Amino acid sequence: MEHLLLAQEHSAFANWLSQGIYPPILTLHSIGMALLVGLQVVINLRVLGFGRGLPIPALRRFMKVVWIGFGVNAVTGTLLFLIAPYKLVHSTLFILKLSLIASGLILGAVLNSSLLTVGDEYAQANANPSLRAKTLAVLSLTCWMAAIVTGRWLAYTTFGDIGFDTDG
């Protein structure tokens, strides 16, 4: 497996990704993150009591956009991974980032199933979610913020030489 990772890391494809189209990939990754995490933050903040005038089930329609953001990030994240798979597989920050993303997705799915897809319980604009829902929202916000921070640290420590052709 290590040989495959190293072969990919030193391949022409990885070089093309890192030296050719890295900026557009990173831009799309940022847009995907804005859709995914931005809307999760809105939902979590509403659960925590911000924007009480907005009925919680009204946020249901945003879940499609959340999943579009996740799809964009899954594709662009895979491309970013293919630039330096050997480095990333051995990176504690990368493993932490993936764990935080998985946790954020699970927490988001639990909140979605318990708040956004229920009947009339939260249909009123001033509905007050349970302590359990608020706890899940805080945990979700924490996971997403930590995933973003670890992702940035990962970029600065792993990809410092990406996107710059030092030979020319």
Is 152 a domain residue?
yes
pLDDT, one tens digit per residue, over 75-92 is 999 999 999 888 889 889
Is 168 a domain residue?
no
**DSSP readout, 34-93?**
HHHHHHHHHHHHHHTTTTTTS-GGGGGGGHHHHHHHHHHHHHHHHHHHHHSHHHHHT-HH
Residue keyed to tokens 């994240």: 77
Residue 43 has pLDDT above 70, yes or no: yes
Q: Point out the least confidently predicted range of 10-14, 34-38, 73-77, 121-125.
A: 121-125
CA 34 to chain centre: 8
**Alpha carbon of 159 to those of 29, 35, 85, 154, 168: distances in Å?**
15, 24, 11, 7, 19
Confidence label for 15 from pLDDT (cuts 50, 70 and 90): confident
Is 64 a domain residue?
yes
Show the tokens assigned to 45. Answer: 């903040």
Question: Which residues does 83 contact at the CB level (< 8 Å), separation at least 6?
Answer: 9, 14, 17, 18, 22, 159, 162
Do 73 and 33 form a contact (C-beta atoms < 8 A)?
yes
Is 105 a domain residue?
yes
Is 23 a domain residue?
yes
* Pick from 131, 107, 121, 106: nearest CA to 49: 131
Is 121 a domain residue?
yes
* Pick from 35, 95, 41, 112: nearest CA to 66: 35
Is 43 a domain residue?
yes
* Pick from 78, 92, 77, 99: nearest CA to 143: 99
Domain of residue 60 covers: 2-162
Q: Does the global pTM surpass 0.85?
A: no
Is 167 a domain residue?
no
Number of domains in the chain: 1
